């Protein structure tokens, strides 16, 4: 039986070689469909890796507290959210002091409604990420590491010193090098600050925004600059393996601090990077599934083209089929001959599509800042689907060939 399969496979490839142009046109749809699947899956996978790297860099054991729910929304926020009290400095202190599972807490202060401006001599950088915080910022934010210089101390915070740590893109706009930045005086919203450190550039966010425009000063220096209107942000770091416990503790503390009645929902939101990663993975899985389904439509069209070519082939080779039957070939032999031919056609198209799609995916990171990679499962799926298309759409032509009457087939001109 195995020898018969090998013979049928050889005959299938002989036919493909004999009719090269017709075979190429038959597999074109399958080839393009598989190439598109590999290309899109490669791009989506690269995007997924980029985001997961960023989430990991942010710290898996970290979570942050917000007054409002995050994510997309239609129109204005619900009235209940708009009426919520802002987070306070005291909320952050209570989290640090009364939550045993919390290792460190970073309390930050912002002025979101202002478009902050950094200036050095005649150079200006708009829309900088300007905030005040505590020294714990370095411990809580995993992507906050110093490249040059140092972070400010608690003493500098207590004394409201005008010192600042800046991001790499601020340095590039103002100075010749990172080392050259340390010790210089820059202005932020018209106030002079002495640069004492430069941050290491973090992983690009979501494959699009790779700028690091952080301008970080001591918390109390910020309150000196903006004594009235500001917004508080709280982020905390849990001990290893105790993130869920930390979230429960923080929830209880904040409900008490914000006087939330026992029968009312939280008037704040706690988000962890673990939740974000899971939500993102769910979204990506849905996108990949939708892409595969849409690409399958193209593969089905390609399969119909293969079936049409195979039906033409059966008609052209009617006499050949009659000869094979006359010398003892069984119906199953004829069936498998044409099935193998159809699967060889679509399988070859699938292989070419895989090589084409993978080649483009490999080139993308070389010519752009995007990440892209081809997972093994996509290659196996692409090839399996292409062969399966041949098997599915080759059944009718193969059955038609196997049912030919040998006497009538031999008399066919």
Q: With contact defined as beta carbons under 8 Å apart, do 321 and 409 qualify?
A: yes
What is the average pLDDT value for the chain, to the nearest integer? 82
Is residue 213 located within the same domain as residue 308?
Answer: no
Of 101-115, 130-144, 210-224, 286-300, the poorest mean pLDDT is in 286-300
Q: Determine the pLDDT at residue 404.
A: 73
Q: Render pLDDT for 304-330 as a digit per residue (tens, 0 to 9).
A: 878 887 787 777 777 777 777 777 777
Q: How many domains does the chain have?
A: 2
Is residue 219 located within the same domain as residue 72?
Answer: yes
Q: Determine the pLDDT at residue 304.
A: 82
Backbone dihedral angles phi then psi of residue 351, each to the nearest 5 degrees: -65, -45
Is residue 129 located within the same domain as residue 269?
Answer: yes
Is residue 10 located within the same domain as residue 94?
Answer: no
Q: Of 227, 256, 273, which one is at a domain's C-terminal end?
A: 273
Is residue 133 located within the same domain as residue 214?
Answer: yes
Q: Of 254, 273, 292, which one is at a domain's C-terminal end?
A: 273
Please, which pLDDT band fits residue 392 given cuts at 50, 70 and 90? confident
- Geometric angle at alpha carbon 234, from 229 and 236, rounded to 5°: 165
Q: What is the mean pLDDT of residues 24-30?
A: 76
Q: Of 273, 303, 338, which one is at a domain's C-terminal end?
A: 273
Is residue 283 located within the same domain as residue 343?
Answer: yes
Is residue 116 located within the same domain as residue 258?
Answer: yes
Is residue 170 located within the same domain as residue 206?
Answer: yes
Q: Determine the pLDDT at residue 320.
A: 75
Q: What is the mean pLDDT of residues 22-42?
A: 81
Domain with 259, as residue range(s), is 59-273
Is residue 75 located within the same domain as residue 217?
Answer: yes
* 17 has pLDDT over 70: no
Q: Determine the pLDDT at residue 57.
A: 65
Is residue 203 located within the same domain as residue 339?
Answer: no
Q: Render pLDDT for 58-89 as a digit per residue (tens, 0 to 9).
A: 667 888 898 877 654 555 666 666 777 888 99
* 153 has pLDDT over 90: yes
Is residue 205 located within the same domain as residue 296?
Answer: no
Q: Render pLDDT for 159-213 as a digit per residue (tens, 0 to 9).
A: 999 999 999 899 999 998 888 899 999 999 989 999 999 998 876 544 344 568 8
Is residue 163 located within the same domain as residue 67?
Answer: yes
Q: Which residue has the higher pLDDT, 5 or 403?
A: 403
* 148 has pLDDT over 70: yes
* 106 has pLDDT over 90: yes
């Amino acid at each position: 039986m195995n020898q018969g399969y090998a013979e049928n496979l050889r005959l299938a490839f002989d036919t493909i070689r004999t009719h090269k142009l017709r075979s190429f046109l038959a597999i074109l749809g399958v080839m393009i469909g598989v190439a598109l699947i590999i290309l899109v899956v490669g791009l989506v996978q690269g995007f997924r890796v980029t985001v997961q790297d960023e989430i990991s860099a942010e710290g898996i054991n970290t979570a942050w507290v917000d007054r409002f729910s995050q994510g997309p929304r239609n129109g204005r926020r619900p009235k209940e959210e708009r009426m919520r009290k802002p987070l306070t400095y005291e909320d952050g202190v209570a989290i640090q002091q009364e939550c045993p599972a919390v290792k460190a807490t970073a309390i930050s202060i912002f002025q979101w409604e202002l478009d902050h401006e950094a200036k050095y001599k005649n150079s200006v950088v708009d829309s900088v990420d300007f905030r005040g915080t505590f020294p714990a910022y370095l411990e809580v934010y995993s992507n906050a590491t110093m490249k040059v210089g140092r972070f400010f101390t608690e003493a500098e915070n207590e004394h409201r010193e005008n010192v600042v740590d800046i991001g790499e893109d601020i340095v590039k706009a103002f100075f010749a090098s990172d080392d050259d930045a340390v010790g210089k005086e820059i202005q932020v919203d018209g106030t002079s600050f002495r640069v004492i450190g430069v941050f290491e550039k973090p992983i690009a966010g979501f494959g699009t925004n790779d700028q690091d425009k952080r301008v970080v000063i001591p918390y109390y220096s910020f309150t000196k600059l903006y004594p009235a209107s500001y917004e508080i942000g709280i982020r905390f770091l849990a001990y290893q393996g105790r993130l869920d416990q930390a979230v429960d503790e923080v929830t209880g503390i904040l409900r008490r601090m914000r006087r939330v009645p026992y029968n009312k929902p939280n008037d704040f939101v706690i988000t962890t990077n673990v939740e974000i990663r899971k939500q993102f993975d769910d979204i990506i899985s849905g996108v990949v599934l939708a892409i595969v389904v849409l690409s399958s439509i193209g593969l089905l069209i390609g399969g119909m083209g293969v079936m049409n070519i195979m039906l033409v082939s059966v008609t052209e080779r009617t006499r050949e089929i009659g000869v094979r039957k006359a010398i003892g070939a069984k119906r199953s032999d004829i069936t498998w001959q044409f099935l193998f031919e159809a699967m060889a056609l679509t399988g070859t198209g699938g292989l070419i599509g895989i090589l084409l799609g993978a080649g483009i995916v490999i080139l993308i990171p070389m010519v752009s800042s995007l990440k892209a990679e081809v997972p093994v499962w996509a290659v196996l799926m692409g090839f399996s689907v292409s062969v399966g298309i041949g098997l599915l759409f080759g059944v009718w032509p193969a059955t038609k060939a196997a049912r030919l009457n040998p006497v009538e087939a031999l008399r066919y001109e």
